[in-house]
């Protein structure tokens, strides 16, 4: 698969704070890539470096094969950071109209309509933004991010501070866009979300990537490789190893349940971020 984003030894310092320390990243076309890390790990800084909003101290970045500061890149990527920048006194439609003009979109009426349909805000097109619920505002921010049909999306905590149902809607939207061909770079604090959505994740801690892989690979790698056997007498934990398992099963009375002790992505994250502290 083609690398759509490639960063090599990316480093950024703010005064004495090393926000990003020799980071390597490769994001492949068509994937949802999760960038996880505790607060202050350097996630937003990375997005800013990858989207031409900030210069690195050292290292190289290419986005869609080009320098992120090259003028035509902005039209090919979508960046969603927070809800700021919505014009509260204007309608949903007017907000998108402004962005359609910024991007120089032709046939903008049709495009705005299609985008509003995609985020299920068509019925609210004439509503003022100040009257929208938090979830609707987030969907409008999403609409603004995708109005120019970018093939690469940078979503910085797209479900932060949303109620569970609205967060689900946003995740469905991300999946839909990804199915339609968009590559997604996503930051999140929510490990269940990353597990559910992402094809691959990288764990960032204090400016360094400490682990990466698919959620399944990471869970397997950090699995304690133990099995819990439940019998009438209680539970027994045994190593996930043929001889030990067979012996325990032979010795056990009636076996009621056997299950492996898989770590969640959250467990992996906590193990790794704790180790680094
Ligand atoms: N413009 C800036 N000036 C000074 N320090 C900064 C600046 N931007 C980021 N930092 C510092 O760099 C570090 C990384 O910040 P960054 O915002 O990238 O983290 P983050 O992982 O996105 O955190 P969060 O999850 O809380 O958004 C932090 O210590 C932060 O205080």
Q: Do 194 and 214 touch, CB atoms closer than 8 A?
A: no
Q: Name the pLDDT band for 108 (thresholds 50, 70, 90).
A: very high
Predicted confidence (pLDDT) at residue 220 exceeds the cutoff of 90: no
Q: Is 65 in the pocket of ligand 1 (CB under 6 A)?
A: no
Nearest residue to 178 via CA among 208, 200, 163 = 200
Q: Name the pLDDT band for 144 (thresholds 50, 70, 90).
A: very high
Q: Do 25 and 6 touch, CB atoms closer than 8 A?
A: yes
Ligand 1 atom at minimum distance from 207 CA: 14
Q: Print the SS3 string covering 201-222.
A: EEEEECCEEEEEECHHHHHHHC
Q: Name the pLDDT band for 3 (thresholds 50, 70, 90).
A: confident
How many angstroms separate the alpha carbon of residue 37 from the centre of ligand 1?
A: 12
Both 108 and 149 in one domain: the answer is yes
List, for residues 40-90, the tens digit of each pLDDT value. 999 999 999 999 999 999 999 999 999 999 988 988 999 998 767 899 999
Both 256 and 194 in one domain: the answer is no
As given in the structure block, the two tokens for residue 36 are 């996880």
Range of the domain at 233: 224-261
Both 204 and 160 in one domain: the answer is yes
Q: Which residue has the tokens 């991007």?
A: 103
Predicted confidence (pLDDT) at residue 276 exceeds the cutoff of 80: no
| CA contacts within 13 A on the Cβ side of 214 | 6
How many angstroms separate the alpha carbon of residue 170 from the centre of ligand 1?
A: 25
143 sits in which H/E element: helix 134-146
Q: Is 39 in the pocket of ligand 1 (CB under 6 A)?
A: yes
Q: What is the rounded (10 degree) CA torsion for 175, 169, 44, 33?
A: -20
Which of 41, 160, 202 to mutate to test ligand 1, by most ligand atoms within 8 A of the CB atom?
Answer: 41
Region 148-157: mean pLDDT is 94
For residue 243, give the 3-state DSSP assignment. helix
Region 144-148: mean pLDDT is 93
Predicted confidence (pLDDT) at residue 274 exceeds the cutoff of 80: no
As given in the structure block, the two tokens for residue 161 are 């501070």
Structural domain tally of the chain?
2
Both 203 and 142 in one domain: the answer is yes
Q: What is the rounded (10 degree) CA torsion for 271, 273, 275, 277?
A: -150
List, for residues 222-263, the tens digit of each pLDDT value. 877 777 888 888 888 877 778 877 887 778 778 788 877 777
Q: Name the pLDDT band for 1 (thresholds 50, 70, 90).
A: low
How many angstroms separate the alpha carbon of residue 9 from the centre of ligand 1?
A: 18
What is the spatial distance between Cα 182 and Cα 30, in angstroms, rounded to a whole number?
A: 6
pLDDT, averaged across the chain: 89
Both 213 and 230 in one domain: the answer is no
Both 250 and 155 in one domain: the answer is no
Both 21 and 58 in one domain: the answer is yes
CATH number at residue 187: 3.40.50.300
Query: Between β-strands 200-205 and 183-188, what pairing exists: parallel, antiparallel or unpaired?
Result: unpaired
Q: Name the pLDDT band for 221 (thresholds 50, 70, 90).
A: confident
Q: Tell me, yes or no, whether 267 lies in a domain.
A: no
Q: What residue owns the CA closest to ligand 1's atom 24? A: 39
Sequence-distant (6+) residues with CB within 8 A of 213 are 200, 201, 221
ipTM of the complex: 0.96
């Amino acid at each position: 698969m083609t690398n759509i984003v490639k960063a090599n030894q990316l480093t950024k310092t703010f005064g004495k704070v090393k926000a990003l320390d020799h980071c390597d990243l490769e994001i492949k076309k068509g994937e949802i890539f999760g960038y996880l890390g505790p607060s202050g790990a350097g996630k937003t800084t990375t997005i800013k470096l990858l989207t031409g909003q900030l210069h690195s101290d050292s290292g190289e970045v290419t986005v869609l094969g080009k320098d992120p500061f090259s003028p035509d890149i902005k039209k090919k990527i979508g960046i969603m950071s927070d809800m700021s920048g919505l014009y509260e006194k204007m309608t949903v439609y007017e907000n998108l109209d402004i962005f359609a003009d910024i991007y120089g979109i032709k046939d903008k009426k049709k495009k705005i309509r299609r985008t509003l349909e995609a985020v299920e805000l068509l019925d609210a097109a004439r509503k003022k933004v100040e009257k929208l619920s938090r979830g609707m505002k987030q969907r409008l921010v999403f609409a603004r991010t995708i109005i120019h049909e970018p093939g690469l999306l940078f979503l910085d905590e797209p479900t932060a501070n949303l109620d569970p149902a609205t967060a689900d809607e946003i995740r469905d939207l991300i999946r839909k866009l990804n199915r339609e061909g968009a590559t997604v770079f996503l930051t999140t604090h929510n490990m269940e979300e990353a597990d559910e959505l992402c094809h691959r994740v990288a764990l960032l801690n204090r400016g360094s990537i400490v682990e990466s892989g698919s959620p399944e690979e990471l869970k397997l790698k950090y699995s304690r490789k133990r099995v819990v056997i439940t019998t009438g007498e209680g539970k027994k934990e045994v190593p996930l190893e043929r001889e030990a398992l067979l012996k325990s099963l032979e010795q056990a009375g009636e076996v009621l349940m056997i299950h492996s002790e898989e770590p969640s992505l959250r467990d992996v994250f906590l193990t790794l971020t704790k180790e680094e502290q």
